[in-house]
Structure 1
Amino acid sequence: MVATRSFKLVILLLLCTSLTVLLAESAPNQQKDTYNYDEYFVEKTILKNAVSKGAVQFQREEDGDVRECQNRSTTSFGSSKHMPPFKFRGHFSNNKNANPNLFNWNKVMVAYCDGGAFTGDVETVDPDTNLHFRGARIFSAVMEDLLSKGLKDAKKALLIGSSAGAYPAMFYCDRFSKLLPSTPRLKCLTDSGYFIDVNKNLQKGKGFETIYKALVTLHGSVKALPKSCTSRMKPELCFFPQNMQQYIKTPLYTIMSPFDIVQVGTSLGDYYNAIKQNNCSANQKENLRELRLELLSKLPNASDTKSRGAFIDSQFHHTRLQNYWKPQNVSVVNNVV
């Protein structure tokens, strides 16, 4: 990836594995998907010098289960050694008709499966499993590599995180901005990661706070989280976007569904089959309505249009930009998508 023209960059923090960066030029020569003209595959690039900096990580399950972490370290969910080519599509396609706004941008997918939102920085290696929890060092190593390849010359830059990748997109949003002091237009975006802490009377699942507390403990995440947040509340609460977003100075935008599959499953329990089969009970429908109202009430202040924005749909899905975005499916009303 070289800066031979006005350098525009999209960095994606998605769900895959660690120590892997996928690079795509605006006119790549990748393997084409024969079933969809706006999709293409990108081979992985390993940052070999990252290991010398301690940037080593294996996947862990989000409930803090080290055994599950060890199991996943032998799969594509936990090791870049087993990772297949990644498919770029939707907002990350290089097809002008399918992706008119970003088709000619440089795109980098920072493959994420450290299980700790790139916040881990534990020096001690687990003696029984040889697992490392150093996601924060991975992020630093990736940024250093990209800066040397032209990122520092970017005229426009987006830091996008989907699903669990939304957390580092928030946590490192201001840091990303500071790394690019000469970039005139820079924004951050979270896609399907604005998970909320629901009313205890509504919560039927284990909830996100339990997950976050285990994550912070296992990964030693406190020092990677912004002190502006951890000085005011427990570190696990800083993982809630409703709490974290108020401490972010860089423009931040959110794409989320009140009926996000992960949010519903974690907060309300197993509604998947009932929703898919259009067979929800009256009680389930009421709970879903309440969940929607809770999300809307915990979004950023709507009056701050210069630094905050949100696109809220009502579909039962997860990760819209990568999996569901197509311009043919978009409706525009009063110049608003």
Structure 2
Amino acid sequence: MPIYIDDSVHSYWQGWDNGGNKILRTFCLDGSPPAFYMDRGFGEGAQSWMIHLSGGGWCRDVRECQNRSTTSFGSSKHMPPFKFRGHFSNNKNANPDLFNWNKVMVAYCDGGAFTGDVETVDPATNLHFRGARIFSAVMEDLLSKGLKDAKNALLIGSSAGAYPAMLYCDRFSKLLPNTPRLKCLTDSGYFINVNKNLQKGKGFKTIYKALVTLHGSAKALPKSCTSRMKPELCFFPQNMQQYIKTPLYTIMSPFDIVQVETSLGDYYNANKQNNCSANQKKNLRELRLELLSKFPNASDTKSRGAFIDSQFHHARLQSYWNPQNVSVVNNVTMIKAFGDWYFDRQYYYLIDKHDLPIP
């Protein structure tokens, strides 16, 4: 089991083999135990849970992963204290729907979007690719800590953590068959496989192919997808979302910094200075249209919701879940739109009409 970090608890659970000996099968890249941070709920939120899979890019070759293994993104030995803010805030005014929930941030230390599953460890590198097992271990531990009795539950993922939040959404639901309200949320991770004529950067297909190969991720992907296309293509939400049965909300911008820089090249800095060329603006408009064309169908906004703004940013939940600095579409804030959708007060599928980034 992972390290459990809160104000006072640091516990390890390693499991047992058939001979009754302790073993550890779940690891960060460097072989240290994975970890999560937890802030207990209170009052009416004591039986409500949000579990957030952290993001932080990917490592796609041995050298990248070795470098990562010496940081908090690859080792629990280097993880700093975590500040619960944004959608984790206990401030009722800033976070009216979720302020008193149990809040869990699952640290991202495997480099493979919680999908790796390789048993063999090369002694020359000591790299462990077992991200899929981290998700399973964390869920098992949290169930014993009260998650099994949840009345409300929410699985969240941001950036590189957004894809596994979608991938494991239905599994999360099956773990909690008696939870009345359970939904999933992905933030700033609906990266698309853009057409070749538009692509100016290296593209996500190249990234995902290397990731799947190194981390052995194919085993974690649904056979309903991998039986139809190559595993790396199943890393794209556009090819996965139709298989998800659990209600799913997506927060994304067509001008997400990571999407733009990966697919179109380094346009972000140019646009930041308000000097994009006419051709760059054309490409940004085309990118927006392509993203929207690959989004879930808006006809059923009870099981699918979305908040699509037109700003240059990335992974907003912690930094933008703030009344003074939050995205707004059609006079509705991101906080209100998601909260209303989650609690079935109103079904929001909001798409900003601006076809270029808002300054």
Same fold at TM > 0.5? yes
Deviations 1:120-164 (A, max 9, x none): 110110231111101111111111100000000000000000000
TM-score normalised according to structure 1 size = 0.84
Query: Structure 1 residues 109, 285: CA separation in 2 closer, same or farther (over 3 Å shift)?
Result: same
For residue 206 of structure 1, the aligned residue among 182, 202, 208 is 202
Match of 2:28 in 1: 57
Deviations 1:253-290 (A, max 9, x none): 10000000100011001112102111111111111111
Task: Verify: 1:310 aligned to 2:302, yes or no.
Answer: no
Relative to the length of structure 2, the TM-score reads: 0.79
1:31-50 equivalence runs, <5 A: 45=10, 47-49=12-14
Quote the residue 1:289 is aligned against: 285
Deviation of the 1:89 alpha carbon? 1.4
Root-mean-square deviation over aligned CA pairs? 2.2
**Higher RCO, 1 vs 2 (CA within 8 Å, ≥6 residues apart):** 1
Q: Where do 5+ consecutive residues of structure 1 fail to align?
A: 1-17, 24-29, 31-42
1:98-117 Cα distance to aligned partner (Å, 9 max, x none)? 11111011100011131111
Measure, in 1, the Cα distance between the counterparts of 2:259 and 2:331.
31
Distance in 2, Cα, partners of 1:291 & 1:44: 46
8 A Cα contact 2:58 2:160, kept in partner? no
How many pairs are equivalent?
Answer: 302
Q: Comparing 47-56 with 276-285, which one deviates more in the overlay?
A: 47-56
Give CA-to-partner distance per residue, 1:169-227, whole Å, 9 cap, x none.
Answer: 01110000000000010001100000001111010111001111111111111111111
Matches within 5 A, 1:134-283: 134-283=130-279
For the Cα contact (< 8 Å) 1:22–1:86, is it kept in 2? no
Q: Retained in 2: the 8 A contact 1:98–1:326?
A: yes
Superposition deviation, residue 328 in structure 1: 3.9
Residue 305 of structure 1, CA deviation = 1.2
- Alignment equivalent of 2:87, drawn from 88, 91, 95: 91
Aligned partners of 1:61 and 1:68 also within 8 Å: no
SS in 1 for 2:306: strand
Give, in whole Å, the separation in 2 of the partners of 1:197 and 1:46.
41
Q: Distance in 2 between matches of 1:22 and 1:177?
A: 25
Determine the structure 1 residue equivalent to 2:346.
Answer: none
Percent identity of paired positions between Structure 1 and Structure 2 = 84
CA shift for structure 1 position 78: 1.5
Question: In structure 2, do the counterparts of structure 1 residues 123 and 207 end up closer, same or farther at CA, with 3 Å as the change threshold?
Answer: same
Contact 2:57 2:160 in 1 (8 A): no
Q: Which amino acid aligns with 2:287?
A: L
Whether contact under 8 Å (1:188, 1:253) holds in the other structure is: yes
When residues 121 and 260 of structure 1 are mapped into structure 2, their CA distance, relative to the original with a 3 A threshold, is same
- State the alpha-carbon separation in 1 of the partners of residues 215 and 315 from structure 2: 25
Contact 2:89–2:99 (CA under 8 A) maintained in structure 1: yes
Separation (CA, whole Å) in 2 of partners of 1:243 and 1:179: 24
Q: Which amino acid aligns with 1:58?
A: L
Q: Give the ranges of 4+ consecutive aligned residues of structure 1 lying more than 6 Å apart after TM superposition.
A: none
Contact 1:156 1:183 in 2 (8 A): yes
Residue 131 (structure 1) aligns with: 127
- Residues 237 and 251 (structure 1 numbering): CA distance in 2 closer, same or farther, change over 3 Å? same
Deviation at 1:63, TM superposition (A): 5.6
Q: CA deviation at 1:329?
A: 4.6
> C-alpha separation between the residues in 2 aligned to 1:45 and 1:253?
33
